[in-house]
Amino acid sequence: MNTEIIKIDKVKFETKELEEAINILRRGGLVAFPTETVYGLGANALNEEAARKIYAAKGRPSDNPLIIHIADKDALNELASEIPKVAENLVEAFWPGPLTIIFKKSDKVPMSTTGGLDTVAIRMPEEPISLALIKESGVYIAAPSANTSGRPSPTKAEHVMDDLNGKIDMIIDGGPVGIGLESTIVDVTSDIPTILRPGFITKDMLETVIGEVEIDQAILDSESDIKPKAPGMKYKHYAPKGDITIFEGNLEDVISQINKKAKENVLNGIKVGIIATDETVHSYNYGIIKSIGTRKDNTSIARSMFALLREFDDLEVEYIYTESFRDAGLGQAIMNRLLKAAGHHVINA
């Protein structure tokens, strides 16, 4: 298949630039497009055949359900069979934006989109290209992250090309995304709303609007055998080819431990990558040293994490050593992704 690539300026574009993408979606094809979180791989959510194509292109397990993207809050009435009051409040506060909400599904939503579940994940993105694409096509767009299953989520069109060129109809290049981590997922079908995947919208932010919120136990306790409530969270994910180790503890100790490990390996001819920060990047002496962002602003770290993991892939490093970014708030989402990428390999420095 020939994958068409079009460039669109997300600040100033005209609807007619989306015409071909709209046609592809209407006839059941696949279009990758930017959202504010990561690039998505879109298809008509109500067309079983189109949804199935997504799984094939990504190599995604068929029990892993898709998020449906809408451009208008009223679409909820069509896709969800029940809209609890807390959900109304969340929609009011956070849509459009990086929040996915799990509802009981309506009969309109095919099982091929929900991976056989009777619930459905819905989100209204904020990014102008994605909103226009949904609105103008009149199609509800099912879209997982536009990566090959198991690879880091794409935050630039180039990442999508690396993974899916030749497998999908079109890639819309709208430049790098703003957030860089996938949306927060919250389930409102349980008594107490539950976070199934941490993201840019934090537990605190949700609680300010709806009161008590829980976090899926399986996410907090990575060692446990509890099955995560979001099927996708159980898969080894985001994993680069290099073996990642996270170093935790006092920053000075972390730096000295990483330097020691890096030196050992580099002197043995082994390629090592180091994930540092703007504050620490000059403290390392061996290996390929890259800053992920500044500790003064967590959003900078979130934005470059997946891209950095892909860069180290391209450089074919064998080991990646990284500092830890644990804290409340956004740190929870960052560490959730990093721990998965590292297969939970953590060393206490």
Give which of Mg ion, ligand TXA, none residue 114 binds (C-beta under 5 to 8 Å, depending on kind): ligand TXA
User: How far apart, in whole angstroms, are the C-alpha atoms of residue 45 and residue 183?
Assistant: 18
Give which of Mg ion, ligand TXA, none residue 119 binds (C-beta under 5 to 8 Å, depending on kind): ligand TXA
Backbone phi and psi for residue 6, each to the nearest 5 degrees, phi listed first: -120, 145
Please identify, using beta-carbon distances, which residue of 86 and 143 lies nearer to ligand TXA. Answer: 143
**Quick one: which H or E segment has residue 265?**
helix 251-267
Please identify, using beta-carbon distances, which residue of 65 and 128 lies nearer to ligand TXA. Answer: 65
The string of DSSP letters for 117-172 reads: -SEEEEE----HHHHHHHHHHT--EE--BSS-TTSPPPSSHHHHHHHHTTTSSEEE
Question: Taking the complex as a whole, how short is the minimal distance between the CB of residue 128 and ligand TXA, in angstroms?
Answer: 14
Backbone phi and psi for residue 55, each to the nearest 5 degrees, phi listed first: -60, -40
Nearest residue relative to Mg ion (C-beta): 145
Contact string (CB under 6 A) for ligand TXA, positions 143-162, x = contact:
xxx-----------------
Question: Taking the complex as a whole, how short is the minimal distance between the CB of residue 279 and ligand TXA, in angstroms?
Answer: 28
User: How far apart, in whole angstroms, are the C-alpha atoms of residue 313 and residue 324?
Assistant: 20
- 333 sits near ligand TXA (criterion: CB under 6 A): no
Distances (CA, A) of 119 to 22, 139, 142, 161, 210: 27, 20, 14, 31, 21
Binders of ligand TXA among residues 209 to 238 (CB under 6 A) are: 229-233
Question: Taking the complex as a whole, how short is the minimal distance between the CB of residue 293 and ligand TXA, in angstroms?
Answer: 19
Question: Taking the complex as a whole, how short is the minimal distance between the CB of residue 196 and ligand TXA, in angstroms?
Answer: 6
Please identify, using beta-carbon distances, which residue of 60 and 261 lies nearer to Mg ion. Answer: 60
Please identify, using beta-carbon distances, which residue of 104 and 295 lies nearer to ligand TXA. Answer: 104
133, 25 Cβ separation under 8 angstroms: yes
Q: How many residues bind ligand TXA (CB under 6 A)?
A: 29
- 35 sits near ligand TXA (criterion: CB under 6 A): yes
Strand order in the sheet with 119-123: 4-7, 170-173, 31-34, 39-44, 141-142, 67-69, 119-123, 99-104, 184-187, 194-197, 214-215
Binders of ligand TXA among residues 244 to 263 (CB under 6 A) are: none
132, 111 Cβ separation under 8 angstroms: no
Contact string (CB under 6 A) for ligand TXA, positions 187-206, x = contact:
---------xx---------
Distances (CA, A) of 285 to 46, 114, 281, 329: 54, 48, 9, 31
- 37 sits near Mg ion (criterion: CB under 5 A): no
Instruction: Say if residue 108 is exposed, middle or buried (CB neighbours under 10 Å; 0-12, 13-18, 19+).
Output: middle
User: How far apart, in whole angstroms, are the C-alpha atoms of residue 136 and residue 132?
Assistant: 6
Beta bridge partners of 274: 289, 321
User: Among 113, 137, 145, 336, which residue interacts with Mg ion (rule: CB under 5 A)?
Assistant: 145
Strand order in the sheet with 272-276: 288-291, 272-276, 319-323, 243-248, 346-348
Give which of Mg ion, ligand TXA, none residue 203 binds (C-beta under 5 to 8 Å, depending on kind): none
> SS3 for 217?
helix
Binders of ligand TXA among residues 46 to 75 (CB under 6 A) are: 64-67
- 336 sits near ligand TXA (criterion: CB under 6 A): no
Q: Which stretch binds Mg ion (CB under 5 A): 19-27, 137-145, 187-195, 314-322?
A: 137-145
Q: Which residues are annotated as a binding site?
A: 37, 60, 64, 69, 119, 123, 143, 145, 153, 183, 197, 238
Q: Which residues are annotated as a binding site for L-threonine?
A: 37, 69, 123, 143, 183
Residues near ligand TXA, by CB under 6 A:
35, 37-38, 40, 64-67, 100, 102, 114, 117, 119-121, 123, 143-145, 182-183, 185, 196-197, 229-233
Q: Which residues are annotated as a binding site for ATP?
A: 60, 64, 119, 145, 153, 197, 238
